[in-house]
Chain A
């Protein structure tokens, strides 16, 4: 991290910052527009508050990391110790669905992390690695399947001949 930043990278960073500034001003303008519309809407009809509230709820501050029924809504991950460490480190390159589908032991999660670091550009996790692996093992434990599981979640329906 403390390496000298090469000039090509510096240009990229400057370009990125310019893009960011552009994006921020766009957002600011859009925000103003939204504010005006929002005020108008409020003046116009109070009956619509339920709907408006829902819309605001959907995009509000708390909503970003909203937990509902023990689930982190944005990622679908179980709310438990280490959740945000997992969200921050494990969901920027791949979907949380890849995590929730998989059930592994601590040893195999550690191997998987090593593989991601060696081949997929994952950064060093330091002390977070233990937090992450503990979270995964505790919340997504292996299920014993044996040599063949019984059919599950059958959706029964009438079939007319």
Chain B
């Protein structure tokens, strides 16, 4: 139906040999979808491709970032792009569940606190949030729940993230706790759920692309903030300008972008991507490929211990026999207690220097000088252990239907000449 409708209209355009491909593509899609969905498209979204924009320019990303998906935009870093202690915007992964908001005005932006368990529903302007509550700055690790999905077998559907859907930027804002206390929480409060300005892919205004949240104890932590700055500047549009909920150490989907409402719920929040199998793993371990009923899937909370070698880039050929390696390690709600590397596929492990985190939930930096015994092909594997004594596995961990929580050891290839 789509192609049938689009073609007769597209043809005269093409004969003019005029309209650029991108514009025509969006136009055809626009038109075709309009017929199918009735009112939804033409009233709403202007496909971003009509702007003829390049995602790297549009979002100011490093050209070596990998675009996994362009509708919606999903872009990941490569390990070596995450070298900095505090991740700059240029290397931060982009994960979107829906279409970007069309207009974002900090001057008129408001945040409403509502829900069954709010004492007084309140709405704050951005200026009020900034002036009324104390401001805090934290470095917070945000990792996509599906980072590493690419390695699961049988494959899990969704964006096939490799290793680069993680970052640790510096976020400035006010504590969610302070704002929730100002509105008041009833004793029935169990969960918060965010609502935001992005749009569902179908453009149906009644649907939210994502509306997740966290239990009250996480919502009330010092480091759970409503941020209006990232790395000392206004948050970039793609990362949630002008207001983002930031909850480090948990799947980054809890850290809602473009947040305009937070509901204090008297039950586990049931917004989009909270229910079914989204951001959930089997409550009990399952065999690879096994079917799991929705009611046997449990919500992911803290992310597991993990690390990345960010220097050197994989593929280094050396003339000498020593190599300095550097990287970051993080452990969800916990701290990284130990960091090791192996050049013999795990037969022996050597400790790395690992720094304390800048603050709770910030990633930690490690380094080591690796000595190679002789010329040849090596892989340097890195393994972090958290404060609970849990280490990263060398193999891909427990299979789960949606491909979350792959924290297998990262490795780089090295040749000694």
Contacts and interface: CB of A to CB of B under 8 A. Distances in A.
Contacts of B379: 151
Interface in B140-176: 151-155, 157-160
B25 A74 contact: yes
B21 A97 contact: no
Contacts, number: 145
Interface stretch (B105-113, B212-220, B225-233, B314-322): B314-322
B21 A155 contact: no
Interface string B370-387: 000000000100000000
Interface string B109-125: 00000000000000000
Interface in B1-33: 1-3, 10-11, 13-21, 24-25, 27, 29, 31-33
A146 B86 CA distance: 35
A31 B152 CA distance: 50
Interface stretch (B62-70, B191-199, B236-244, B360-368): B62-70
B396 A148 contact: yes
Interface residues of A, number: 59
Contact of A98 (B159, B320, B413): B159
Contacts of B202: 93, 120-121
Contacts of B411: 151
B203 to A, nearest CB: 8
Interface residues of B, number: 66
A158 interface: yes
Given A34-B18, A154-B413, A64 B24 contact: yes
Contacts of B186: none
Contacts of B415: 156
A91 B3 CA distance: 11
Given A27-B19, A102-B160, A8 B39 contact: yes
Contacts of A61: 11, 14-15, 17
Contacts of B153: 144-147
B313 interface: yes
A64 B7 CA distance: 10
Contacts of B33: 92-93
B72 interface: yes
A87 B70 CA distance: 15
Contact of A87 (B3, B201, B314, B320): B3
Contacts of A16: 34, 42
Contacts of A120: 201-202
Contacts of B317: 156-159
A147 B396 contact: yes
Tell me which of A64, A74, A123 has the highest count of chain B C-beta atoms within 10 A of its own C-beta.
A64
Contacts of A147: 153, 395-396
A92 B32 contact: yes
Nearest to B414: A159
Interface string A48-86: 000000001011110110000000001000000000100
Interface in B28-69: 29, 31-34, 36-40, 42-43, 67-69
A74 B314 CA distance: 32
Contact of B157 (A102, A123, A161): A102
A59 B160 contact: no
Nearest to A161: B320
Contacts of A87: 3
A40 interface: no
B39 A9 contact: yes
A11 to B, nearest CB: 9
A88 interface: yes
A145 B411 CA distance: 17
Given A142-B154, A161-B320, 19 more contacts: A12-B43, A13-B39, A27-B16, A27-B19, A60-B17, A61-B14, A74-B21, A74-B25, A88-B1, A91-B29, A94-B72, A97-B70, A98-B69, A101-B160, A120-B202, A121-B40, A142-B155, A144-B153, A156-B315
18 contacts: A9-B39, A12-B39, A13-B38, A27-B18, A58-B21, A59-B19, A88-B1, A89-B2, A93-B71, A95-B70, A97-B67, A97-B69, A101-B159, A121-B201, A148-B151, A149-B151, A159-B318, A161-B322
6 closest A-B pairs by beta carbon, nearest first, are A121-B202, A145-B153, A31-B16, A159-B316, A88-B3, A95-B71
